[in-house]
Structure 1
Amino acid sequence: MDLRAIGMGLAFALMWSSAFTSTHIIVAQAPPLASLSFRFLISGVLGIVLALALGQSWRLSRAQWRATILFGICQNALYLGFNWVAMTTVAASVAAIIASTMPLIVGALGWIVFRERLSPLGLFGLIAGFAGVAIIMGARLQGGVDPHGLMLCVFGALALAVATLTVRGASSGGGGVLMVVGLQMLIGAAVLAVASGLAETISVDVTPKLATAFIYTILVPGLAATWIWFQLVGRIGAVRAATFHFLTPVFGVAIAAVVLGESLDWHDALGVAVIAGGILAVQLSKQKVVR
């Protein structure tokens, strides 16, 4: 892995992790599902326009359409929908920590349900990662964290993990990466618009802070981080690129503390370190299996 790949991985992790803080700002002043639907509508249209400009087509293979619809629902509507609603009552750092366990959940489900090979290092990583979550959440629950919001974060991570394990061969066929991402966003926007119409009353407190957070969320973690991710995967492969996910809990908690002033204690620091180590161990074990 060269220096450029390391720089791209660090940039991706930082951008991706910052979304929890900007989201927390948005949902404090606007309904979460409607806001997320609007975000995906804008991002999806931009993505498709750019894809068409690059000569990409929306004539996808059947496997790609299946993956696009599944990910549009599971990742954009369920995973992020649950997280955006959860962050109306829980801290951004809590949402970041739970979301960061997705690679651990994928590893555990792959091992238990799909009988995928797991090395001793990978098993150690799973145990350590979930132990780190227990350290943080035990202290947070005693401190009064909203259990309903916490469960929504867990449901979101599970939805994304199941989608990740279910979709196979989604990269084959026609179309292109940017087109697939744009279509996924439009599918998520449609599902979230229906959910918002059924569950929310639209009331928005428009402020410069809200506008800045919304634009930032669309451009940086939404489009820029996605573009960097696919460039990184093309450079070093998906397995190695996924190693940078171990930084998500570290950056997510740190950014929330700096920007939002969320308090941290030794339980958080210890738990984040253990989770990051567990994710890293799981990803490194996958690299050894691939070789």
Structure 2
Amino acid sequence: MDLRAIGMGLAFAVMWSSAFTSTHIIVAEAPPLAALSVRFLISGAIGVALALAFGQSWKLSRAQWRATIIFGLCQNALYLGFNWVAMTKVEASVAAIIASTMPLIVGALGWIVFRDRIPPLGMAGLVAGFGGVAIIMGARLQGGVDPVGLALCVAGALALAVATLTVRGASGGGGGVLMIVGLQMLVGAASLAVVSLLTEHLSVAVTPKLALAFTYTVLVPGLMATWVWFRLVGRIGAVRAATFHFLTPVFGVAIAALVLGEKLDWHDALGVAVIAGGILAVQISKQEARR
């Protein structure tokens, strides 16, 4: 892995992790599902427009349409929808920690459901990762973290893990990466808009703080991070690129502490370190298994 790839991976991890902090600011001042739907509408429209400008087509294969719809619903509507609602009840650092366990959940479900072979290092990583979550959440529950918000975060991570396993191997056909990403966002926007109209009171006062956080979320974690991620995958491959996800809990907790002033204690530091180490071990074991 060269220095440019490392720089891209670090940039992606910082941008992706910062979304939890900017989201926490948004949902404090706006209905979460309505705000998320608008975010996806804007990001999806930009993505599709750019894809068409680059000559990409929305004539996708059946497998690509299946993946687009499943990911649009599970990743954008369920995963992020649950997380945005959860962050009206829990701190951004809690959401970042739970979301970071998605690679661990994918590994565990793949082993249980699909009988995937996991090397000893990967199995140790799974145990360590979930152990780190137990360290943090045990202390947080004693400290009064909202159990409903926590359950919503877990449900979101499970939805994304199931979607990842469901569509794995779906490739081929027409279209292009940017077109598929844009269409996934539009699927999420449409489904979230329906739920928002049925469940939320659509009243919001646009403040400079809200406008800045929303613009940042659309442009940086929404578009720039996605673009950097696919460039990184094209440069070093999906398995090696996924190694950088071990930094999500580290940067997510740190950014929330710096920007929002969320308090951390030794349980958080220890748990984050153990989770990060577990994710790294799982990803390294995947690389070794493919050699």
- Identify the residue that residue 111 of structure 2 maps to in structure 1: 111
Give yes or no for the alignment of 1:207 onto 2:216: no
| In 2: Cα distance, 1:89 partner to 1:125 partner | 30
Letter of the 1:174 counterpart: G
1:45-64 to structure 2, matched below 5 A, reads 45-64=45-64
Letter of the 1:117 counterpart: R
| In 2: Cα distance, 1:262 partner to 1:253 partner | 8
Letter of the 1:98 counterpart: I
| In 2: Cα distance, 1:29 partner to 1:274 partner | 34
- Identify the residue that residue 258 of structure 1 maps to in structure 2: 258
- Identify the residue that residue 222 of structure 1 maps to in structure 2: 222
| In 1: Cα distance, 2:287 partner to 2:140 partner | 34
- Identify the residue that residue 89 of structure 2 maps to in structure 1: 89
- Identify the residue that residue 282 of structure 2 maps to in structure 1: 282
| In 2: Cα distance, 1:262 partner to 1:191 partner | 32
| In 2: Cα distance, 1:209 partner to 1:17 partner | 19
| In 1: Cα distance, 2:239 partner to 2:213 partner | 31
Letter of the 1:110 counterpart: G
Give yes or no for the alignment of 1:157 onto 2:157: yes
Stretch of structure 1 that moved more, 170-179 or 147-156: 170-179
- Identify the residue that residue 192 of structure 2 maps to in structure 1: 192
| Cα root mean square deviation, aligned | 0.5
- Identify the residue that residue 249 of structure 2 maps to in structure 1: 249
- Identify the residue that residue 9 of structure 1 maps to in structure 2: 9
For residue 174 of structure 1, give the secondary structure of its aligned residue in structure 2: coil
| In 2: Cα distance, 1:31 partner to 1:88 partner | 9
Residue deviations 1:221-247, cap 9 Å, x none? 000000000000000000000000000
Residue deviations 1:237-258, cap 9 Å, x none? 0000000000000000000000
| In 2: Cα distance, 1:134 partner to 1:203 partner | 38
Aligned pair count reads 291
Report deviation, 1:171.
3.2
Residue deviations 1:192-243, cap 9 Å, x none? 0011011100121211010000000000000000000000000000000000
Stretch of structure 1 that moved more, 253-262 or 163-172: 163-172
Question: TM-score, normalising length from structure 1?
Answer: 0.99
Letter of the 1:264 counterpart: L
- Identify the residue that residue 125 of structure 1 maps to in structure 2: 125
Question: TM-score, normalising length from structure 2?
Answer: 0.99
| In 2: Cα distance, 1:2 partner to 1:9 partner | 11
Letter of the 1:24 counterpart: H
| In 1: Cα distance, 2:27 partner to 2:199 partner | 15
Give yes or no for the alignment of 1:273 onto 2:276: no
- Percent sequence identity is 84
For residue 188 of structure 1, give the secondary structure of its aligned residue in structure 2: helix
- Identify the residue that residue 100 of structure 1 maps to in structure 2: 100
Letter of the 1:139 counterpart: A
